[in-house]
Amino acid sequence: MLRNKLSLKVNLMKKLLIVVLLTSLSYLAKSQTLILAKDAAQYVGKTVTICDSVYGTKALDKISLINLGGSYPKELITLAINKEDISKFTSEPASMYLGNNICVTGIISEFKGKFQIVVTEPKQIILK
């Protein structure tokens, strides 16, 4: 009888833990803000999602750059993918996304007076 009560308590605790985890994940997923690329300056340091067209790309030795909202030098925001992360993609990101509409999620930062999101995982970018 004691074993049955203990088993019931363990099962209840497992179910409660699953509910808490799912609720937490749901909250985190909804906490990401969808913004326009032109509004990036207002969200520096924050995790956001931006959906826009890829206007241009450039694959360099140590980094791949993807420009959203306009062609260089009038891009609204640039996605930067460092060399060590490029291998995580199925093909070279600069050619993979060129001319497509995408959504990217990440933290906006500023680099040399321009806005960027450093992409470290392919799951941060979704083709639309």
Q: How is the chain split into domains, by residue range?
A: 1-31, 33-127
Q: Could you read off the pLDDT of 10-69 as tens digits, one per residue?
A: 565 565 445 444 454 444 454 579 999 999 999 999 999 999 999 999 999 999 999 999
For 70, half-sphere exposure in the C-beta direction (CA atoms, 13 angstrom radius) is 11
Tell me the mean pLDDT in the region 103-116. Answer: 98
What is the pLDDT at residue 7?
63
Whether 9 shows a pLDDT value over 70: the answer reads: no
Mean pLDDT score, 70-82: 97
Per-residue pLDDT, 18: 59
Angle at 77 between CA 40 and CA 112, to 5 degrees: 95
CATH superfamily of this structure's domain 33-127: Nucleic acid-binding proteins (2.40.50.140)
CA distance 111 to 118: 11
- d(C-alpha 72, C-alpha 88), whole Å: 25
Q: Give pLDDT, residue 26.
A: 47
pLDDT number for residue 116 = 98
Question: How far, rounded to the nearest angstrom, does the alpha carbon of residue 105 sit from its chain's CA centroid?
Answer: 3
C-alpha 45, offset from chain centre = 13
